[in-house]
Structures are given as structure tokens and as C-alpha cells.
Structure 1
Amino acid sequence: MAMPSKSRPSGQKGRTFTETARRAQIVRYAIETIADIGYAKASFEEIARRAGISRSLISYHFAGRDELVTEVLTSVYTRAADYMTAKIAEAKTPPDMLESFIRGNLAFIGEHRQDMAAVLSIVVHARTQSLTAKPEASAAQPRLDGLTRILEWGQQSGCFRPFSSSAMALAILQAIDGAHQLKGSSDGINLDSYADELVTIFNKATR
């Protein structure tokens, strides 16, 4: 694993605008590469080759693959959170908010196929390799926490029945993330109809 350069600023506050922009470009290159050939084959060398830059440039900005992968996940989940916030903001009740959460997540998946393909490849690799460090855990936690708060609000207001909010949140997220399997589906299922079904299922499950 490459060691950080002594000249590299430590932390976001120490980076110049140019360094921050270059890191964002490298993250984009990494997303494109991972989505295309999978996490296992997306080495620094391969990312650099496809981006037309030197491997040393990537190593300057990222101490190792783990740091780059964490940045990829954080980038995608942050953009997804911003997207979701706008979708949920107009909801007035917990059921409406839950529906907006489900539809908004699926809409983001549909509009950002490459980003989500990269995330899925990283997450699947981490799980199948039984890695001690789960790179998606910290990046995905705000999404789980936000959904759990929606469910708890629904219970407190009497809109939802008593249930384990953490278990229900996990079930909803697993169903949403399963939409990745619809890519190339031959049975005519699309994200819009899938969203309709999930809204119906979890509307009944939470009432």
C-alpha cells in the first residue's frame, strides 16, 4: 500500500481547490472503471491507464485503494442523500415521506446506473471476501439512520403500527437495492413498476 506523500495536505481543510478538484476527477475515473470491469480488476494502474494519467498522481492524492474506495462510496452516497432530501422535503406525513424515500431512491438508481454499478461491485466484493473492514458501512449509515427516523416518526404519530424500526428499515433498503437486478431483465419489469410494488408492499407492512 502506498504511503501518503509528506507534501500532501492532511484532511479536507488542508487541500487547495485544485487538489480537491483533482481528487474528484480521480474518483470519477474510479467509478467508471469499477462499473465497467468490477472492483477486483480496478487497480490504480488500470484506473490511471483508462484516465490517461499517471499512477503516481493517484497515489499522491490517495494513500491506497481503501481510501479511494471509501471516497467513491462517500461521493455516491452523498449525492444520493442530496437527491433524496429534495424529494422528501415536500412530503407532509410519514407515509408520504416513506413513499418519497422509496421512489426517490429508485429514481436515483435509474438515473445513476454507472455510480450504482460501482457501489454494488464494491459492496459485493467486501461481503463475499468477508473483509474485516466493510467500506460501505460508514458511507451508507446516514441513509439507514434517515429511514429509521421516518419509521419512528410514523410510529410516534400513530400512522405506523409497532415494529422494529431498524429491522423494517433494513428490509426496505434491501428491497430498494435489489433493483440493481432489474438491469437487463427480460420479464418486462422496470423501475417505475417496481417502485409501485414496493410502495404498496411497505405501505401495508407498516400500517
Structure 2
Amino acid sequence: MRSKSTGEAGETFLNRARRRQFVTCATEALGELGYTATTVAEVARRAGVSKSVVLYHFSSRAELMEAVVDQLYGDAVEPIHAAVGAAETARERVLAYVRACVLFVWAHQREARAVLEVARNLRKEDGSPRYTAREGAALVGFARGLLEEGQRSGELGDFDAWTLAVLLRATIDNLSEQFMADPALDGPRVADSFAHLVGKMITPREGES
């Protein structure tokens, strides 16, 4: 007989797996059908369950759409942090971050398309956009922290770290659409090219200490 704790752990695992299944179905539907047609009923149909099963795990369509966004950014954390953590200098950490972000977006184009659909269409109860620039503040803050670390150590040049962090994030986010629009684009090559440009931007100019 299983202990109560073992049973609860198993149930939690199954719940997580079920939620992820519904997020995957929603992601596929968003990419193929767009936001309007990605209803709870459509997600349930793809998962082979009733609407009530989906709504048992997500209280509303909006919560399910938010989970699509959270899933993509959650999945990005480990590979990006691993790449940054493996770098030995502040400069290398910035460039590793740039490469890892571009490669992640390139490898997750379907998910990126779904997130764009949600970000552009999901509304709060008062009709205002659910996602605004405010939601990207943490991403900008992480990039800014890497840049400021390099400036403090003297490895990077004199520039406004916040401005460059915003520029980096805007470019990375826009690249997801570029990859989707042009399948011929090579992710690793784009990542290397972007990192090369960023490397020039952060290198101290002659005379800077």
C-alpha cells in the first residue's frame, strides 16, 4: 500500500503532466489556428478529453493562455542560465547570454509563435492588454545585470547598460518573427553574428579603463 505522501507526489506529477499536455495542445492550436480559434473546446478536442477536464486544471481560457507564455519562458531559464554560468568572464557571460537566447528562440519557433498570439490578443477583464512592456522588465533586468557586472570589473566599455539591455531584448524578441518568416535563416549563424556585433558594442574604446 502506498503511503499518503507517495500518493500525493504521484498525483502532483500526473497533474503537472496533464497541465503540460494541455499547454502543448494550446500551443499547437495557437500556431495553426490563431488566438480566436484556440478555445478550451479546441484544446480539449486535441487532447481527447472533455472541456470539463481542461477546466479542472485551468480555471479559464485566460489562465490556459497565460500558461502557454509561462511555459516558454520557464523552459528557457535552464539552458540560458547554464550557458551563462559556464562562461568564465563577464564579457563571455554577456556573449553566452546572447547566443543562448537566439538559439533558444530558433529552436522553439512554434512556441514563440503561440506566445506572440497570446501577447497580442489576451485582454484583462477591463479590456486592457494582459501583456505590456512591464512584463519584460525582468528579462531586461537580467541582461542589464550582466552588462553592469562587466562594467564594474572593467571588462566592458562605458555605455548605458539599461539602453543596451533593452536593445538586446528587443532584437531577441523580434528574431522569433524573423525565423518564422524565413525558414532558411540559420539559427547558429545568426547567433554568432549577433554576438559578434554585441561584442563590438561592449568592448572598451581606446583610452577607457
> 1:96 aligned to 92, 98, 113, which one?
92
Question: How far off is 1:185 after superposition?
Answer: 2.1
Does 2:182 match 1:185? Answer: yes
Question: How far off is 1:63 after superposition?
Answer: 1.3
Query: What is the aligned-residue RMSD (CA, Å)?
Result: 2.5
For residues 70 and 176 of structure 1, what CA distance do their matches in structure 2 show? 21
Q: Which runs of 5+ in 1 are unaligned?
A: 1-12
Tell me which residue corresponds to 2:49: 53
> In 2, are the aligned partners of 1:35 and 1:117 still within 8 Å (CA)?
yes
> 1:62 aligned to 48, 58, 63, which one?
58
Tell me which residue corresponds to 1:157: 153
Matches within 5 A, 1:186-201: 189-201=185-197
Q: Which runs of 5+ in 2 are unaligned?
A: 1-8, 204-209
**Whose Rg is larger?**
2
Does 2:94 match 1:81? Answer: no
Q: Name the SS for the 1:39 alignment partner.
A: coil
Question: How far off is 1:131 after superposition?
Answer: 3.1
Identity %: 27
Question: How far off is 1:190 after superposition?
Answer: 2.2
**1:99 alignment partner AA:** L
Tell me which residue corresponds to 2:140: 144
TM-score (normalised: structure 1): 0.80
> In 2, are the aligned partners of 1:126 and 1:135 still within 8 Å (CA)?
no
TM-score (normalised: structure 2): 0.80
> 1:38 aligned to 31, 34, 38, which one?
34
Tell me which residue corresponds to 1:115: 111
Question: How far off is 1:124 after superposition?
Answer: 3.1
For residues 189 and 78 of structure 1, what CA distance do their matches in structure 2 show? 25
> In 1, are the aligned partners of 2:106 and 2:179 still within 8 Å (CA)?
no
Question: How far off is 1:172 after superposition?
Answer: 0.5
